[in-house]
């Protein structure tokens, strides 16, 4: 049996609200991913270190503080510095429409503003990580 794809869900910066990140983490687990959740108020360098140590296929940042541009750039730079520039970074949270393209320009692989359907997030992360569909657990 193939092991589940590992992803990291992180809350960088000073943002203390983690309800959305926990919902996404749960949805990803339910979809068959193995999720490492950092908890709140993590430093960018610590997120990069954890991503490398946990051998994750993707880093998901949940940012509600308005610092999404700087934190995304810094996280991608920290991953590069750690030799992990092959790990895609996705960003979700309170993201104004005008910043979506700027996040892609900064290197984000996907952007999920508040209100994005969980199914959309899961499908996007499956594509980015080449994760297979989870086997159905319903009985015939």
Angle at 53 between CA 76 and CA 30, to 5 degrees: 85
Q: How many CB atoms lie within 10 A of CB 71?
A: 24
Higher per-residue pLDDT: 83 or 139: 83
Q: How confident is the model at residue 138 (pLDDT cuts 50, 70, 90)?
A: very low
φ, ψ (nearest 5 deg) of residue 79: -65, -40
3-state helix, strand, coil split of the chain in percent (to 5) is 40, 20, 40
Q: Which residue has the tokens 């999404």?
A: 68
Spatial strand order in the sheet of 89-93: 34-37, 6-10, 58-63, 89-93, 110-113
Span 57-63, mean pLDDT?
Answer: 98
Percent of the chain with pLDDT over 90: 87
Give the long-range contacts of residues 97-100, CB within 8 A, separation 24 or more: 99/68, 99/69
Q: How confident is the model at residue 18 (pLDDT cuts 50, 70, 90)?
A: very high
- Mean pLDDT computed over every residue of the chain: 93
pLDDT digits (tens, 9 = 90+) for 61-112: 999 999 999 999 999 999 999 999 999 999 999 999 999 999 999 999 999 9
pLDDT at 131 over 90: no
pTM here is 0.92
């Amino acid at each position: 049996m193939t092991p589940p794809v590992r992803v990291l869900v992180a809350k960088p910066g000073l943002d203390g609200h983690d309800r959305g990140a926990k919902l996404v983490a749960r949805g990803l687990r339910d979809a068959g991913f193995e999720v490492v959740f950092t908890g709140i108020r993590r430093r960018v360098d610590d997120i990069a270190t954890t991503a490398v140590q946990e051998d994750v296929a993707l880093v998901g940042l949940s940012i509600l503080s308005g610092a999404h541009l700087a934190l995304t750039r810094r996280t991608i730079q920290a991953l590069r510095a750690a030799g992990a520039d092959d790990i895609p970074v996705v960003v979700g949270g309170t993201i104004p429409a005008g910043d979506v393209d700027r996040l892609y320009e900064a290197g984000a692989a996907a952007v999920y503003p508040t209100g994005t359907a969980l199914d959309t997030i899961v499908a996007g992360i499956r594509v980015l990580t080449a994760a297979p569909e989870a086997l159905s657990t319903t009985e015939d």
